[in-house]
Amino acid sequence: MNLSSKDIERIRNDFPILNRKVNGSDLVYLDNAATSQTPKQVIDCIVDYYSNYNANIHRGVHSLSQQATEAFEVARKKVQQHFNIAHPEEVIFTSGTTHSINAVASGYAKLLNPGDELIVSALEHHSNIVPWQMACEQSGASLKVIPMDASGALDLKAYESLLSDRTQLVFCNHVSNALGVINPIETIIEKAHAVGAAVLIDGAQAAPHIKADLQALDVDFYTVSAHKLCGPTGIGMLYGKKERLEALPPYQGGGEMIATVSFEKTTYAGLPHKFEAGTPNIAGGIAFGAALDYMNSIGFERIAAYEKQLLELATEKLSLIEGVEIYGTSEEKTAVLSFNIKGLHPYDIGSILDQMGIAVRTGHHCAQPIMDFYQIPGTVRASFSFYNTFDEVDRLIAGVIKAKEMLS
């Protein structure tokens, strides 16, 4: 059953922030690709943790510690089930996607040798480029790039020609943050595995829209940030196949990640603790689980179907405005609309939309190589979530028309 306008109304009531006014107007929040809003079910979960069972986990013998530990490990199992992961210890809680990628990249920096090659897609966020450049600098490995075309699609022929027995790792986002284009990761993974390379998929932008089955994908590493799927900031997931994580040197040293410590030698704890040094974001982890429960109670298929309607309506109406150029026109997209108006700077459009209470992102979206490809300073990016409405699409369109009128 599709989400009806009554359903959306009920859903919106779960999000306190959607009732606020910005610059005198009702907020229209269209920056969901940067951070999604938080439903009261998740907020309540955080309040409950700090009000009733805040304690350090995995080490206390007292009741509060045991309760907190159990809630944290239940959350890990929720994440495991949601992404259809084989073992709970393959779920590493991190502070988010950037942390997850850095953990893998810094481990690889120690495993790579001169002559090894890494392959990156042209559509990456800086957080999936820079850690690997650092790993290459340290190890002497080199970085190759899969080119993109004007629609935002990756050139898979070129990808195949880059693959060789020197390729150690391929990394690519599931969905591009700047354009919303869904990448053919099944093919990318299959072809990488054919030459014996591992694959890391950055799922930050996909997770709010697509429920990925990580065993079916057979992906080696997958990363997620909870704050993009109705969870709090500062918590996320690094998924890694057990054998991959076991082979990877730990990223940070500290408490919880050790088995024994002496000044002569320290042995590391098993998974997942080897990669969870120090006290984790306990409330965040528990709330991450609550956020997944919340989204699953609505259902990802219904979410995707409704967001597709929002995107289609917005694309259709925006295209009618003269001078509008939309970036990322590939058929396979999540609800992201990245655009410019000829002769106008995205910063100006975003500033005027903000005055009307409409929150969009402007700029290069931490994906400068994509902006260089199109030879533009940036774009205006409106990104939709299941709690947005058709009326809000109309407010966006009216806002863009007004901004164009004022700026031209």
Partner 1 sequence: MSQSISEIQEEIIDEFSMFDDWMQRYEYMISLGKSLPLIDEKYKTDDYLIKGCQSKVWVHAALEGDQLIFKADSDAIITKGIIAILIRVFSHQKPEDIMEADTSFIDEIGLKEHLSPTRANGLVSMIKQIKLYAIAFRTQLNQ
**Is 256 a residue that touches partner 1 (CB under 8 A)?**
no
**Is 407 a residue that touches partner 1 (CB under 8 A)?**
yes
Q: Which is nearer to partner 1, 289 or 378 (CB)?
A: 378
Dihedral pair phi/psi, residue 224, rounded to 5°: -140, 145
- What's the min distance (Å) between Cβ of 282 and partner 1? 29
Task: Determine the size of the site formed for partner 1 (CB under 8 A).
Answer: 17
Do 294 and 387 meet the contact criterion of CB atoms below 8 Å apart? no
Q: Which residue has the tokens 């990456």?
A: 124
**Is 348 a residue that touches partner 1 (CB under 8 A)?**
yes
Q: Which of 47, 247, 259, 406 binds partner 1 (CB under 8 A)?
A: 406
Task: Residue 385: name the closest of 96, 37, 14, 44 by CA.
Answer: 37
From residue 244, alpha-carbon distances to 199, 269, 401 in Å are 11, 15, 51
Task: Residue 356: name the closest of 34, 21, 19 by CA.
Answer: 21
**Is 390 a residue that touches partner 1 (CB under 8 A)?**
no
**Is 88 a residue that touches partner 1 (CB under 8 A)?**
no
Q: Which is nearer to partner 1, 217 or 353 (CB)?
A: 353
Point out which residues pair with 28 in neighbouring strands: 358
- What's the min distance (Å) between Cβ of 364 and partner 1? 8
- What's the min distance (Å) between Cβ of 402 and partner 1? 8
Instruction: Restricting to residues 18-47, name those near partner 1 by CB under 8 A.
Output: 23
Q: Most distant CA pair in the chain: distance in Å?
A: 71
Q: Which of 347, 372, 390, 398 binds partner 1 (CB under 8 A)?
A: 347
Q: Which is nearer to partner 1, 138 or 355 (CB)?
A: 355
**Is 80 a residue that touches partner 1 (CB under 8 A)?**
no
Three-class SS of residue 127?
helix
Is 230 labeled as catalytic in the residue annotation? no
Q: Which of 378, 381, 396, 400 binds partner 1 (CB under 8 A)?
A: 378
Pick the stretch among 74-82, 111-119, 256-264, 340-348 that binds partner 1 (CB under 8 A).
340-348
Q: Which of 345, 359, 371, 389 binds partner 1 (CB under 8 A)?
A: 345
x/- string (CB under 8 A) for partner 1, residues 293-332? ----------------------------------------
**Is 232 a residue that touches partner 1 (CB under 8 A)?**
no
Do 223 and 239 meet the contact criterion of CB atoms below 8 Å apart? yes
**How crowded is residue 278: how many other Cβ atoms within 10 Å of its Cβ?**
10
- Residue 104 one-letter amino acid: V
Task: Name the DSSP class of 58.
Answer: S
Residues ≥6 apart with Cβ < 8 Å to 399: 28, 352, 353, 356, 358
Three-class SS of residue 286?
helix
Angle at 269 between CA 266 and CA 275, to 5 degrees: 105
The active-site residue out of 45, 136, 172, 366 is: 366
| The two structure tokens encoding residue 290 | 């609550």
**Is 344 a residue that touches partner 1 (CB under 8 A)?**
yes
Three-class SS of residue 179?
coil
- What's the min distance (Å) between Cβ of 13 and partner 1? 29
d(CA 145, CA 279): 37
Q: Which is nearer to partner 1, 74 or 406 (CB)?
A: 406
**How crowded is residue 347: how many other Cβ atoms within 10 Å of its Cβ?**
13
Dihedral pair phi/psi, residue 371, rounded to 5°: -65, -40
x/- string (CB under 8 A) for partner 1, residues 349-368? --xx-xx------xxx----
- Residue 338 one-letter amino acid: S
- What's the min distance (Å) between Cβ of 297 and partner 1? 33
**Is 377 a residue that touches partner 1 (CB under 8 A)?**
yes
- What's the min distance (Å) between Cβ of 351 and partner 1? 5
Q: Which is nearer to partner 1, 43 or 376 (CB)?
A: 376
**How crowded is residue 60: how many other Cβ atoms within 10 Å of its Cβ?**
14
Summarize as ranges the residues that interact with partner 1 (CB under 8 A).
23, 344-348, 351-352, 354-355, 362-364, 377-378, 406-407
Active site residues: 366
